[in-house]
Amino acid sequence: MSPEGSIHGDVWRTKRDTSGDPKRAPGPIDLNRYVAHLAYSGPQTFCKVPVCLNQADLRAGKVDVAVCGVPIDTSVGQRGAAHGPMAIRAAERYLPGPRRGGFPHQHVRIDPFEVLRVVDYGDAAVHPLSIEESHQPIRQVVREIAETRAVPVVLGGDHSIMWPSCAALADVYGAGKIGVVHFDAHADCSPDVLGHLHAHGTPVRRLIEDEHVPARNFIQVGLRGYYPSDELFAWMQAKGMRSHYMAEVERKGFEAVMQRAIEEALDGPEYLYLSVDIDALDPAYAPGTGTPEPGGLTTRELFPMIRRIAHEIGIVGMEVVEVAPAHDPGYTTALNAHRIVLEALTGLAMRKKGIKGRHYLHPIAAGERSRARSRPAGSKRKP
């Protein structure tokens, strides 16, 4: 077998020779043959959006958001998250694509694909047998997106990928200038996992120790279960981390906790990154993950908050990780992960359109205008 055909060496990250390809002008490539595909047909990209292959395509297309997959799970004891990006892309089961036109978010009446230029940037080159060798290619591909000032939306994959993904944003926007809101059942700041620095339980520690993100601006929401240990809990307190446990959510309410979390994340930094481990949701909404923890957030809590953060605050990047579809008897987990991304896109579209207001909802969706119209002409509102 020739070296080019060998499975050895660096073939997993070696780009193919494109010199024989037809010449084309830079820009997004629409892979859809028909005006509308059913969601499960045709080439699979996120919501059937066009593909970009390099920075020239991103720049020529004036791309606002680029979705990138990281299909790897070699840092997790229970495998399956490597299939997360494919499952999230294909989670929509019946709506036809492309989604442009006719599919507005019902709560705000905004179709993000009408407002934003969204593309799929394919997957990062990951080594199927080495998490250590995968992190640099992940960091490179996320940096490529961020350098064009498009917002990278990273689909995982296990949570170790937060280390290279968030580091890539710090490369572009500056170390210490990014705050992180991290939705998760677990703190993920262990010094190592079974002696390995690259692991799904260590990315927070790595980002803090590498000084990409200040510890005091790494804000966690949704912690519960039986981790961190007393030793790790003491380390978190000594570093000045500010974490919000589900006990606080239950006592004070999710909105109050999130208001505080956002203020803490941006207490110094200029930009915001969202990290969503799907196990932040209760297993009733996300059974397809490697480390489910009962007592988590509901979709009714998390969905509007993701949309609000993207709209009211703005984000420079986000990730949705730990979706392991094989552990889900249905497709609930992937569908909810897909919707989390759509909520963020909707919020970014609202921000781009200049919509103002805290927790904006369309009046009819909020039940305001419909009540006014339902009163008989000449009647007065009851006191």
- DSSP-based three-state secondary structure for 231: helix
Share of the chain above pLDDT 90, in %: 69
Residue recorded with tokens 């059974």? 287
At 244, give phi and psi (nearest 5°).
-120, 115
Give DSSP secondary structure letters for 78-112. Answer: S--GGGHHHHHHT---S--BS--SS--BTTTTB-H
- Residue 34 CA to residue 362 CA, distance in Å, equals 32
pLDDT surpassing 80 at residue 372? no
Strand order in the sheet with 178-183: 118-123, 65-70, 151-156, 317-321, 271-277, 178-183, 218-223, 242-245
Tell me the CA distances in angstroms from 156 to 5, 91, 173, 262, one per residue in order.
28, 14, 22, 24
pLDDT of 239 > 50? The answer is yes
Listed in sequence order, the DSSP H helices in the chain are 55-60, 84-89, 112-115, 131-147, 162-173, 203-209, 230-239, 246-252, 254-265, 299-308, 332-353, 369-374
Q: Please, which residues have CB within 8 angstroms of residue 233's CB and are 6 or more apart in sequence?
A: none
Residues with Cβ within 8 Å of 198's Cβ and at least 6 positions away in sequence, in order, are 75, 131, 132, 135, 160, 163
Specify the pLDDT at position 90: 87
Q: What is the dihedral of CA 125, 87, 53, 213, to 10 degrees?
A: -60
Structure confidence by residue, pLDDT tens digits, 164-215? 999 999 999 999 999 999 999 998 886 767 667 676 767 889 999 999 999 9
Which residues, 6 or more positions from 172, have their beta carbon under 8 angstroms from its beta carbon?
143, 146, 147
pLDDT over 70, % of the chain: 89
- 363: its two tokens: 């009046």
Lowest mean per-residue pLDDT among 15-24, 268-277, 307-316: 15-24
Instruction: Return the DSSP state at 15.
Output: P
| CB-neighbour burial class of residue 15 (10 A; exposed 0-12, middle 13-18, buried 19+) | exposed
* Domain residue limits, the chain: 40-368
Give the confidence band of 12 by pLDDT, cuts at 50, 70, 90.
confident
pLDDT tens figures, 73-99:
887 767 889 999 999 998 877 666 555
CA distance 156 to 203: 14
How many helices (H) and strands (E) would you count in the chain? 12, 8
The residue type of 189 is C
Peptide bond just before 157 cis, omega within 30 deg: yes
Q: Find the Cα–Cα–Cα–Cα dihedral 151, 157, 160, 165, rounded to 10°.
A: -20
d(CA 253, CA 132): 39
Taking residues 276-287, what's their average pLDDT? 97
Q: Which fold has domain 40-368?
A: Arginase; Chain A (3.40.800)
Task: Give dist(CA 67, CA 84) in Å, integer.
Answer: 13
pLDDT, one tens digit per residue, over 250-264 is 999 999 999 999 999
Beta bridge partners of 152: 66
Q: Is this structure's pTM higher than 0.85? A: yes
Give the whole-angstrom CA distance, residue 139 versus residue 146. 10
In the chain, the N- to C-terminal Cα span, in Å, equals 84
Backbone angles phi, psi at 201, to 5 degrees: -105, 10
Predicted local confidence at residue 97, as pLDDT: 56
The C-alpha torsion from 19 through 24 and 26 to 32, rounded to 10°, is -110
